[in-house]
């Protein structure tokens, strides 16, 4: 395999394009914490920390889930089950990304560095969650919800109290859409004894819970704006986010799961970008 093909396979393995889900929330928190543009240095450090931590977590997940990915028809074509990438390479990649994450956090500020092992432990721990709990979706929500909190700490060097509602909003939003995504594997999860609220509650109740989580996330998005005294334009974008969540929920029905990927990829990418646009417009209008 050529170097370019290996790079492409690695980026596809870690779903690099999905960085768009959490990164806009981290960047939005960064801008609010700095009350504007914080400068290129902190921006690049935050992006580097986000990408390295997420890459380590995704690669680690592929290693840990390899026995199940080989058996699941939906995942058997992934790179490790097919042998496109070796376990040794993915292990080395995971370690390198983790080291890069710690190094970047060291250069951000002391609090970021002290908390970096905790953040990485939460991210890596998600890969084992479904082996002992049905609340895997909430674990994933927390893992992504710490992104805006970490960005706030990166800017201020202090505990991110004003960003807590945003962390909660992201956590609930992620948990809600991960429940939708998990509907694809409900039968496989039950067969393998893997934890999932979809397999535990059934499709009807799980979809209802997903809608409740998304509704709660909207309330926390509003609270974040109120605590940080954001402009009316921000609240308008939150309303648009609510519309995006309604659309996302409308795509997934108990008797029709064919549009889960559309709900997962398209709608969520737009939602995260809407949030960042709302933050940018707030400071542009001030």
11 is a domain residue:
no
Q: Provide the pLDDT for residue 280.
A: 95
What letter does residue 228 receive in the DSSP assignment? Answer: T
What lies within 8 Å, CB to CB, of 93 at 6+ separation is 10, 55, 59
User: Distance between CA 4 and CA 172 in Å, rounded?
Assistant: 37
126 is a domain residue:
yes
4 is a domain residue:
no
Maximum average pLDDT range among 66-80, 114-128, 187-201: 114-128
* Mean confidence (pLDDT) of the chain: 90
What kind and span of H or E run contains 188? helix 186-192
CATH number at residue 224: 1.10.357.140
Would you place residue 262 in the very low, low, confident or very high pLDDT band (cuts 50, 70, 90)?
Answer: low
Maximum average pLDDT range among 69-73, 170-174, 282-286: 170-174
Q: Which residue has the tokens 């609010």?
A: 32
7 is a domain residue:
no
- Whether 186 shows a pLDDT value over 90: the answer reads no
Would you place residue 3 in the very low, low, confident or very high pLDDT band (cuts 50, 70, 90)?
Answer: low
152 is a domain residue:
yes
What letter does residue 45 receive in the DSSP assignment? Answer: H
How many domains does one find in the chain? 1
**Cα 210-47-40 angle, rounded to 5 deg:** 135
Whole-number percent of the chain with pLDDT over 70: 89
Whole-number percent of the chain with pLDDT over 90: 70
10 is a domain residue:
no
3-state secondary structure of 253: strand
The torsion angles phi and psi of 256, rounded to 5 degrees, stand at -155, 100
What lies within 8 Å, CB to CB, of 104 at 6+ separation is 45, 48, 49, 52
- Whether 208 shows a pLDDT value over 60: the answer reads yes
Q: Which structure tokens are listed for 227? A: 């605590």
274 is a domain residue:
yes
Q: Tell me the pTM.
A: 0.93
What letter does residue 264 receive in the DSSP assignment? Answer: I
284 CB-contact burial (10 Å; exposed 0-12 / middle 13-18 / buried 19+): exposed
**Cα 144-151-112 angle, rounded to 5 deg:** 100
Sign of CA dihedral 207, 29, 55, 133: negative
3-state secondary structure of 150: helix
- Whether 9 shows a pLDDT value over 70: the answer reads no
84 is a domain residue:
yes
Range of the domain at 137: 19-284
């Amino acid at each position: 395999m050529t170097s370019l093909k290996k790079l492409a396979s690695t980026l596809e393995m870690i779903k690099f394009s999905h960085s768009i889900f959490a990164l806009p929330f981290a960047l939005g928190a960064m801008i609010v914490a700095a009350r504007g543009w914080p400068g290129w240095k902190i921006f690049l450090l935050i992006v580097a920390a986000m990408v390295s931590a997420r890459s380590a977590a995704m690669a680690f997940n592929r290693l840990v889930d390899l026995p199940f990915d080989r058996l699941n028809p939906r995942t058997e074509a992934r790179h490790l089950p097919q042998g496109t990438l070796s376990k040794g390479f993915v292990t080395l990649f995971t370690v390198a990304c983790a080291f890069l994450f710690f190094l970047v956090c060291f250069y951000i500020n002391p609090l970021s560095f002290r908390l970096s092992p905790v953040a990485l432990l939460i991210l890596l721990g998600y890969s084992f969650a479904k082996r002992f709990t049905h609340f895997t979706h909430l674990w994933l929500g927390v893992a992504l919800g710490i992104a805006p909190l970490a960005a706030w700490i990166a800017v201020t060097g202090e505990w991110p109290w004003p960003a807590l509602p945003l962390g909660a909003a992201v956590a609930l939003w992620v948990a809600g859409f991960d429940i939708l995504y998990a509907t694809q594997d409900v039968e496989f999860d039950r067969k393998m004894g893997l934890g999932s609220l979809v397999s535990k509650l059934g499709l009807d109740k799980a979809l209802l819970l997903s809608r409740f989580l998304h509704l709660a996330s909207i309330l926390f998005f509003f609270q974040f704006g109120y605590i940080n005294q954001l402009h009316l334009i921000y609240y308008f974008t939150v309303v648009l986010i609510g519309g995006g969540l309604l659309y996302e929920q409308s795509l997934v029905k108990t008797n029709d799961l064919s549009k889960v990927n559309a709900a997962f990829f398209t709608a969520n990418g737009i939602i995260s970008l809407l949030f960042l646009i709302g933050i940018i417009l707030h400071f542009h209008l001030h």
